[in-house]
Chain A
Amino acid sequence: MPETGPRTQAAPAARGAQGAQAAGVIHDLGYRRYDGPRFGRAQIVRALIWHSFRSSWGIGRGIKAKIIPILAMVAMCLPAFVNAFAVARGNARLFGYDVYTPQLRVFVVIIFLAAQAPELVSRDLRSHVLPLYFSRPLRRGDYPLAKYIALTLALLVLIEVPLLILYLGTIVSAKNGHGVWLETKALIPGLGMGLLWAVLMAAIGLVLASLTGRRAYATGIVAIANVLTFTVSLLLIGAEGGPDTTATGARIAGLFSPFTILDGVRIWLGGKSQGFDPPTLGHIGPVYGVVFIIVLAACLGGLAARYRKVSRS
């Protein structure tokens, strides 16, 4: 395009073509003031959450951005559909709502997080968009808060939708109302666990991804940190006597990875299904609850500190 002069001539023609309702008046309307209603900070934050939630699923982005979220979702839902067929043939429900398919869920959540947490934060860091946010009504804590809520919601969808499919696939074959009631009673703690997963993993994913604006590095950091801690934790549990032991070493080993922490919290809260952790935590159950809160608080604090620094530079 020519770099000289505002192209005011081209505009009225396009405007006229768009707006036949403008009674054929073709003028450059000039600058128009806006005196209508304006949203306050809370609604701006909500708009940012919605925008970020959409981009965490690749909506409003190119095809490439949609591949990983969609594949993750499909992979996550597949067992739930398999269950529906199995139940229809007279089998019992295949997976517990509180653990679903533990290994698959860990795998898919890591992939989703490694791909999408950088999508939410690294892009803006990389292209230095943040001054544009911070020169608007948002306060400096609002941006990371909105990103955190958006990623939590995205993970919630990824984790809970398969549970709902599992539930629906099971109750359509239920023989009576009592069967439906039992399924519903089992589903609710499962949904609660899903929420804990989403809340913790979103915080971990974002704080790691916000360390760098380079997307590939951010993805690597998130993936490696999660895979590594999970592997170390499982190895230590194995070395201390495996999942069936009551040894304190094995019980503590579960505190080294977010996924085993989540599983420990589940067991502490009374979950019965087979996860990764020692099935009996004994008296150290509350420790898992405390560590869960400490890790969550540390990640959120780190995220806030990171953006406090960015907003001043």
Chain B
Amino acid sequence: MPSNPGPGAAGSGAAVIETKALTKVYPGNVTALDGLTVSVGPGITGLIGANGAGKSTLIKILLGLIPPSQGQATVLGHDTQTSGETIRMLLGYMPEHDCLPPDVTATEFVTHLGRMSGLPPTVAKERAAESLRHVGLHEERYRLIGTYSTGMKQRVKLAQALVGDPRLLLLDEPTNGLDPAGRTAMLELIARIGAEFGISIMVASHLLGEIERICDHLVAIDAGRLLRADTITSFTMASQVLAVEVEEGLAQLQQELAARGLTATAQQRVLLVPLAGDATYDVVRDAVADLALPLCRLEQRRHQVEELFRDEAEVSRA
């Protein structure tokens, strides 16, 4: 499978997922995907987009559950419209929403779904135990799922995706509903699965700041269109800003920075300066020192994903 080196290429090597002018229009003329062309390589790829950007529609097409209105998608070299069954044999899918019955134990549930992935009975049992161990549920696996915390439920959802030994995992908002510690643990787990288990992963999320920690590549979509597909480093470089907070003289500093060639935008009591590299720190430091302003904060910040999207959308329109 040749990888597409065009603007929609994320990742290297043989493409794991490849779409060509993929369009999905739902009845009632709702366009969920609008000519999406992207190529996703092995490793961990973040699929980033605001709610309603078309992430879930893309996942459903990749699973072969709904046909695209136009265009084509291949997963691991198989066409989604003709080889849905083969693709689903090779895929593990973790849905966004709650999908667990409360009145069975995690072991029974994951074993059953292992069988539904085509594993023979004893293998399904072994792999269910192993998958649950990998996600960090071992002693608890004989408890009814209804007694689990949200974090444990998310782990069961991940375990059921893992049980069939997939070549590719599609994770839809895996940190949904988790507290900060739970999010970190889930992200570490995903990173480990990607790095140590040798399974390619596509993580859909609307939180860029979160999944960029674990992804090698990012694919950003908005309103069903590709905004950008790139490696994580080049992606985040552009989105980094320096937040400068001074107790007084905000406007003064803004002028001073402009004089030194930095376009700072004021946001409430903070100045946001595009971060070009270490030199930016020096310029800001010197400007503050020369004006003798009381500096109370200087921190590296990420654009909110919405901002990134707005910027990118403006660029693509221009």
Contact = CB atoms under 8 A, between A and B. Distances in A.
A96 to B, nearest CB: 41
B165 interface: yes
Contact of A11 (B60, B138, B197): B138
Contact of B185 (A5, A32, A44): A5
Interface stretch (B92-100, B246-254, B269-277, B301-309): B92-100
Contacts of B63: 134-135
B66 A44 contact: no
Contacts of B257: none
Contacts of B151: 3
Contacts of A47: 115-116, 121
A6 interface: yes
Nearest to A18: B129
Contact of B115 (A11, A51, A132, A140): A51
Nearest to B184: A4
A312 B119 contact: no
A22 interface: no
A136 B113 contact: yes
Interface stretch (A121-129, A198-206, A268-276, A292-300): A121-129
B183 to A, nearest CB: 9
A27 interface: no
Interface bracket on A = 35 or more
A138 interface: yes
Nearest to A65: B103
A90 interface: no
B118 A139 contact: no
Contacts of A135: 63, 65, 88, 91, 93, 95
B181 to A, nearest CB: 5
B98 A6 contact: no
A11 B102 CA distance: 25
Given A11-B133, A47-B116, A132-B160, A4 B181 contact: yes
A139 B100 contact: no
Contacts of B198: 31
Interface in B168-213: 178-179, 181-182, 184-185, 188-189, 192-193, 196-198
Contact of B100 (A31, A43, A51, A129): A129
A3 B101 contact: no
Interface in A244-278: none
Contacts of A39: 115, 118-120
Contacts of B197: 30-31
A283 interface: no
Given A11-B133, A62-B103, A136-B88, A127 B98 contact: yes
Contact of A131 (B93, B117, B139, B189): B93
A128 B116 contact: no
A7 B95 CA distance: 24
B99 A131 contact: yes
Given A3-B149, A4-B184, A312 B101 contact: no
Contact of B95 (A48, A60, A126, A132): A132
A129 B182 CA distance: 23
B108 interface: yes
Nearest to A10: B138
A3 B196 contact: no
A36 interface: yes
A127 B178 CA distance: 19
B88 to A, nearest CB: 5
Given A128-B97, A132-B99, A139-B85, A3 B120 contact: no
A38 B181 CA distance: 37
A295 B80 CA distance: 36
B103 A34 contact: no
Contacts of A34: 119, 123, 127, 164-165
Interface string A17-59: 0000000000000111110111111011001100100000000
A60 B108 CA distance: 9
A127 B100 contact: yes
B152 interface: yes
A93 B127 CA distance: 54
B179 A10 contact: no
Contact of B117 (A1, A60, A129, A137): A137
B136 interface: yes
B101 A31 contact: no
B65 A43 contact: no
A14 interface: yes
A136 B139 contact: no
B134 interface: yes
A62 to B, nearest CB: 7
Contact of B101 (A8, A129, A139): A129
B189 A6 contact: yes
A44 B118 contact: yes
B193 to A, nearest CB: 8
Given A34-B164, A61-B103, A132-B160, 7 more contacts: A6-B134, A7-B136, A32-B130, A47-B121, A127-B101, A129-B101, A131-B95
26 contacts: A1-B149, A3-B185, A5-B136, A6-B134, A6-B189, A7-B138, A30-B197, A31-B193, A34-B165, A37-B120, A38-B89, A38-B117, A38-B119, A48-B116, A126-B101, A127-B99, A128-B98, A132-B93, A132-B116, A134-B63, A136-B116, A136-B117, A137-B85, A140-B65, A312-B60, A312-B65
Interface of B: 60, 63, 65-66, 85, 88-89, 91, 93, 95, 97-104, 108, 112-113, 115-121, 123, 127, 130, 133-136, 138-140, 149, 151-152, 160, 164-165, 178-179, 181-182, 184-185, 188-189, 192-193, 196-198
Interface of A: 1, 3-8, 10-11, 14, 30-34, 36-41, 43-44, 47-48, 51, 60-62, 123-124, 126-129, 131-140, 311-312
